[in-house]
Amino acid sequence: MNTVLELRALTKRYPTHSAVDGISLAIEQGEFFALVGPSGCGKTTTLRLIGGFEEPTSGEIYLAGRPVAGTRPYQRDVSTVFQNYALFPHLTVAQNVAFGLERRKHLTRHEIRAKVDQALALVQLSGKEARRPDQISGGERQRAALARSLVLEPKVLLLDEPLSALDPKLRKQMRSELKSLQRRVGIAFLFITHDQEEALSLADRMAVMNRGVLEQVGTSRELYQQPRSRFVAEFLGGVNWVNGAAVRPEAVRLSREQPANGAHFLAATVEGSTFLGNFLQVETRLANGVLCTAQIAQNGYEFARGECVHVWWNPADELRIADRD
Ligand code: ADP
Ligand code: MG
């Protein structure tokens, strides 16, 4: 493994509170890493510290093994794609992409032109060089912002909720484009989002952040299936707290008959169901009064309100959560 970015006990304190509170993290070369957490948990502040737009109160940042303390943003081998893209409205797409190159590197006009062309081809914007940002679509502006950052060939690309300004359909499409782009360029991406589904689907590894601290770091699968805290479990998906066990709604099964040996089951009453396209969400109430939600395959099977059912699950699907506070 080859660490490109390391944070050691990174802290940013404001007069009234700590936005980032002692986070330590190592990101490997070529990795797609997501930092995910609710609004206000300190994601943007973390990115701004790495980019050099804020000074940490304490702690260190290392890029390719070197401390970056005291260096200006343009001297750091990172590049940021901002939430609002921050394209210059009066410059063309090509001029926007060339801007950082002209400032940062000593290149001839010919070399700059070649790199800009290459970056625009990478994000499928060839042919749109001469347009201004208001003459291209939202998805294209997003790609122009990516090209502008990638052209600098950073060691790490920092992305602050880059898909949040797009409509849901385009957002899903850009999600897969972003992933394949990252694979092609091989640069480490540090991607921040408050959208857990986006993080789960994109990241090789991810960290869940809560009130300035990292709750857990691991692969998407590890965090979803083995959350260490109640916060992580509930942030990444639904959780039923049934009979001392935590079970995700998609692991809950419903049947009229008593389930086979080995399954854990409880009697429940159906409170209602919602058709959600690819599955049916059924709300049930257990004898102890606790609500239990099941997401079951849409197979034409209906559960009527007031009906008595068995709620059951495979014991292997129970989440083992150490910290339940
Ligand atoms: P996120 O990006 O996860 O939504 P931010 O990093 O923007 O969160 O903010 C984290 C916390 O720090 C919030 O409580 C926010 O209000 C606070 N904060 C951010 N910038 C400043 C600042 N310049 N001065 C004081 N508080 C700030
Ligand atoms: Mg933010």
**pLDDT tens, residue by residue, 213-231:** 999 999 999 999 999 999 9
Supply the residue whose CA is at minimum distance from atom 12 of ligand 1.
Answer: 19
Arithmetic mean of pLDDT over the chain: 93
What's the pLDDT at 103? 79
What's the confidence (pLDDT) of residue 105?
A: 65
Nearest CA to ligand 1 atom 10: 42
Q: What is the rounded distance in angstroms from the CA atom of residue 184 to the CA atom of residue 197? A: 23
Q: What mean pLDDT do residues 27-47 have?
A: 97
Minimum-distance ligand to the CA of 84? Answer: 2
Residue recorded with tokens 């997003």: 142
Q: What would the 3-class secondary structure string for the chain be? A: CCEEEEEEEEEEECCCCEEEEEEEEEEECCCEEEEECCCCCCHHHHHHHHHCCCCCCEEEEEECCEECCCCCHHHCCEEEECCCCCCCCCCCHHHHHHHHHHHHCCCCHHHHHHHHHHHHHHCCCCCCCCCCHHHCCHHHHHHHHHHHHHCCCCCEEEEECCCCCCCHHHHHHHHHHHHHHHHHHCCEEEEEECCHHHHHHHCCEEEEEECCEEEEEECHHHHHHCCCEHHHHHHHCCCEEECCEEECHHHCEEECCCCCCCCEEEEEEEEEEEECCCEEEEEEEECCCCEEEEEEECCCCCCCCCCEEEEEECHHHEECCCECC
Please state the rounded mean pLDDT for residues 169-179. 89
Which of 45, 80, 158 to mutate for ligand 1's pocket (most ligand atoms within 8 Å of CB)? 45
Residue type, 159: L
Nearest protein Cα to ligand 1, atom 16: 40
**Range of lowest pLDDT (20-24, 31-35, 278-282):** 278-282
Span 113-161, pLDDT tens digits: 999 999 999 999 999 999 999 999 988 999 999 999 999 999 999 999 9
